Amino acid sequence: MELAKKKQQKPKREVTKRQLSRWQQQKKRQRLIFGLGILIIVAALVTVGAGWYITEYQPLHTTVVTVNDASFNMKYYINTLVAMVKVNLPTDTVVPTIQKNELVRQGAEELGIRVSDAEVDEELKNLDLPTSREYRDLVRAEMLTTKLRDEYFEYQVPLLAEQCYILAMLLENEKQATEVRARLEASEDFTELAGELSLEAISQTENGDFGWRLKDLLSDLLKTSIPVDYAFDAQVGVLSQPIYDEETTKSVGYWLIKMSEREEDSDLVHVQAILLGSEEEAQEVKARLETGEDFAALAEELSQHEWSKENGGDIGWSVPGT
């Protein structure tokens, strides 16, 4: 029996230090080249991405409208503009429309009035409109407005309210009011006299004709309720007696001025003053002062000038002409 021949083994190749060093340098160069390649690719991608972000993404995502804590970007603005064109809404009101619709949504939410997504979907289907956010918001706002009117405001605002058609003017004093009343009874024209004589800005501009007005709105307009209360209780066509209105200040008045001190070496003077509503009242107060009544007390009681009233008529030191 023959023994199996032993396989002849090749002698191992010895690697010199110089060869090992060369291989290691080659590997380092390969890794370096590979890394540089990756960096170049990444840099190119970043450049392209940054350009896309700056020119495409960022402008569309910049906030252009804010309503309380809600914000809307340029993309929403553009899409809303397109939607408004499609539904025949004026395109010069895009921003006010976005603001109004969001305020309607927020206000309705606070009142517990809501429109479900299913209701919006049904309305969009009926109108044959896309289902994107901008169309949904336009339709939702319209539906909320209708719901607010029908389910909330219908029970808050009365269908009917009392109104009066009023002619009125504000005059200097009771004496002038009596004289003007006599002229009106002699058939002089109310609007002509009001335009000529009234000291209240609106009645002068409108020649005393306030037209049909609700009571509260007229009181707000005049900033006084005294003539309004009378008018709404008066008979139609009846001219009133002069009515004193302590709530109204006129654009003209009469000053009573007292120089209490003067600096001898300068032009400084210490002044006390009272602003009164009519010449007649000014003459009466002057007579009271001449009988010894206290200037400060009368100023605090009667002056229509806020500073002099609060300070007992004391205007302080001033130079003539200032």
Do residues 46 and 100 lie in contact, with contact meaning Cβ atoms separated by under 8 Å? no
Per-residue pLDDT tens for 184-230? 999 999 999 999 988 887 888 889 898 888 888 888 888 888 888 88
Domain boundaries, the chain: 70-155, 163-233, 254-318
Q: How confident is the model at residue 53 (pLDDT cuts 50, 70, 90)?
A: very low
CATH class of 254-318: alpha beta
Report the first-to-last Cα separation within the chain, whole angstroms.
143
Q: How confident is the model at residue 52 (pLDDT cuts 50, 70, 90)?
A: very low
Q: How far apart are CA 27 and CA 133, in angstroms?
A: 57
Nearest to 216 by CA among 206, 207, 225: 225
Q: How confident is the model at residue 118 (pLDDT cuts 50, 70, 90)?
A: very high
Query: pTM for the whole thing?
Result: 0.41
Q: How far, in Å, are 123, 170, 214 from residue 117 at the CA level?
A: 10, 58, 40
